[in-house]
Structure 1
Amino acid sequence: MTQSTKPLIQPTSLDLKKLNQRFENAHPRDILAWSVENIPTGLVQTSAFNVDDILITDLFYRELKPATPVPVLFLDTLFHFPQTLELVAKAKALYNLDLKIYKTTEADSREAFAAKYGDALWDADIAKFHQVTKIEPLQRGLAELGAIAWITGRRRDQAQTRSDMPIFELDNQQRLKLNPIANWTRKETWAYVFEHDVIYNPLHDQGYPSIGDEPITTAIAEGEDERAGRWRGMGKTECGIHI
């Protein structure tokens, strides 16, 4: 059966326990190869263009090269660092990405956002800020792209809250959610990046191991958790996309 005629999988019919056992110690390349083989359409990579995300993009676009390029969904929150936006443009040109950019329909600039929601919605209501800038645009993007499965760049060692994360899971919309580098460490990610000369955000070299929105992302001190610079002092560990 050719890739074009292979029937679409039903995520709820998959034996996730068996899949997780099979791929627990697998290289991310093998997990992504499985996804391309079994999900020829309806596969989407979500990316914030952190180093773990760009690693996955490199595996798809440089190594695996599926017949139908996997779309890369990027959420333009309007509040990214300039370095992040420069990396997005650089990666799009380098890999000829099938890049899909989604953002709130309520504003198209920081100024327009402030006019509607106030100068610092993240301080007044962080949950609403993430709903407007991330959660709603992501769900709209996945729906419009016909996503059956979506791929994240999460690792178990990024934070204690992710230590038990499976490689294969279902989201709350019953889509398949793949975490192909769940079993990798930060050291393994960077080893791959240096071995293959993968481009990455220069902020990673300036004390920002995890990069989110500029107003609510800080550098971390030596010994701090990798994601300690996200939402510092806000008592949050996730933005709401990954629940």
Structure 2
Amino acid sequence: MSLSTDSPSQTANFDLEALNQKYDTAHPRDILAWCVENIPTGLVQTSAFNVDDIVITDILYRELKHPVPVMFLDTLHHFPQTLELVGKLKEQYNLDLKIYKTPDIDTREAFTAKHGEALWDKDISQFHQITKIEPLQRGLAELNAIAWLTGRRRDQANTRQYMNIFELDGKQRLKVNPIASWTRKETWAYVAEHKVIYNPLHDQGYPSIGDEPITTPVAEGEDERAGRWRGTGKTECGIHI
């Protein structure tokens, strides 16, 4: 059954249990092909331009030849390597790139002037609310998203090991994790096979790349996401709760 209305509530027409049984270990290409076929409008990819996100974009744009809006949350605190990569990929794929950020603030200096020095140290949940959660929800609403794609994998962290391929978010939108069943090794095999460009920080001890002030390298044996918000006790920024 295809969805063609602009109401996220229409996702109730999908049998998530049956979909999860069918696609639990399917290739991301097959999952994305299902999305393209069954959600002709209202499909959005959310991307932090980590390597798993880029694999999804490559499948959509190069293999399936089905460009969808790619939403990037500009927190104003990204590594310069991340912003440079966004520009390269926008040109390479002719991305339908949608950038969302905190309203009326365009620089780190302006952010500090409004919210104080190092807000992430004083209240990291508020920092994420301002820079990620609010812009994400605003973006999904403005793009009339019925379904959105994430780059999460089950083996990234213990908190993600039971993640389904198909979920509903708090607004009853379909939330699809097409690469969930893949391992880190499978992602990098795809990158090598298809010569996918990626953030050079991945080669410098950063398997998961977020905001520059609160992302650290990861030691051998740690979860991929151990370098995100180290010492805060957080395992997610709030987008995927």
TM-score, with structure 2 as normaliser: 0.97
Instruction: Give the counterpart of 2:124 among 112, 117, 126.
Output: 126
- Determine helix, strand or coil for the equivalent of 1:227: helix
Matches within 5 A, 1:31-110: 31-66=31-66, 69-110=67-108
Residue 111 of structure 2 aligns with which residue? 113
Residue 4 of structure 2 aligns with which residue? 7
Instruction: Give me the whole-angstrom Cα distance separating, in 1, the residues matched to 2:227 and 2:125.
Output: 17
Instruction: Give me the whole-angstrom Cα distance separating, in 1, the residues matched to 2:172 and 2:12.
Output: 7
Contact preservation (8 Å) 2:4, 2:41: no
Residue 141 of structure 1 aligns with which residue? 139
Instruction: Give me the whole-angstrom Cα distance separating, in 2, the residues matched to 1:173 and 1:229.
Output: 30
Instruction: Give me the whole-angstrom Cα distance separating, in 2, the residues matched to 1:217 and 1:180.
Output: 25
Instruction: Give me the whole-angstrom Cα distance separating, in 1, the residues matched to 2:71 and 2:102.
Output: 14
TM-score, with structure 1 as normaliser: 0.96
Alpha-carbon deviations, 1:184-210, whole Å to 9, x = none? Answer: 000000000000000100000000000
Alpha-carbon deviations, 1:135-175, whole Å to 9, x = none? Answer: 00000000000000000000000000000000000000000
Instruction: Give me the whole-angstrom Cα distance separating, in 2, the residues matched to 1:222 and 1:184.
Output: 20
Q: Percent identity?
A: 78
Q: Which amino acid aligns with 1:25?
A: T
- Determine helix, strand or coil for the equivalent of 1:73: strand
Instruction: Give me the whole-angstrom Cα distance separating, in 1, the residues matched to 2:104 and 2:120.
Output: 16
Q: Do structure 1's residue 18 and structure 2's residue 18 form an aligned pair?
A: yes
Contact preservation (8 Å) 2:153, 2:182: yes
Instruction: Give me the whole-angstrom Cα distance separating, in 1, the residues matched to 2:215 and 2:25.
Output: 32
Give the 4+ runs in structure 1 shifted more than 4 A: none
Residue 208 of structure 2 aligns with which residue? 210
Instruction: Give me the whole-angstrom Cα distance separating, in 2, the residues matched to 1:125 and 1:106.
Output: 21
Instruction: Give me the whole-angstrom Cα distance separating, in 2, the residues matched to 1:123 and 1:13.
Output: 43
Contact preservation (8 Å) 1:106, 1:113: no
Matches within 5 A, 1:199-238: 199-238=197-236
Instruction: Give me the whole-angstrom Cα distance separating, in 1, the residues matched to 2:153 and 2:30.
Output: 16
Contact preservation (8 Å) 1:42, 1:147: yes
Unaligned ranges ≥5, structure 2: none
Unaligned ranges ≥5, structure 1: none
Instruction: Give me the whole-angstrom Cα distance separating, in 2, the residues matched to 1:198 and 1:205.
Output: 14
Contact preservation (8 Å) 1:75, 1:101: yes
Cα distance, 1:106 vs structure 2? 4.2
Instruction: Give me the whole-angstrom Cα distance separating, in 1, the residues matched to 2:110 and 2:91.
Output: 29
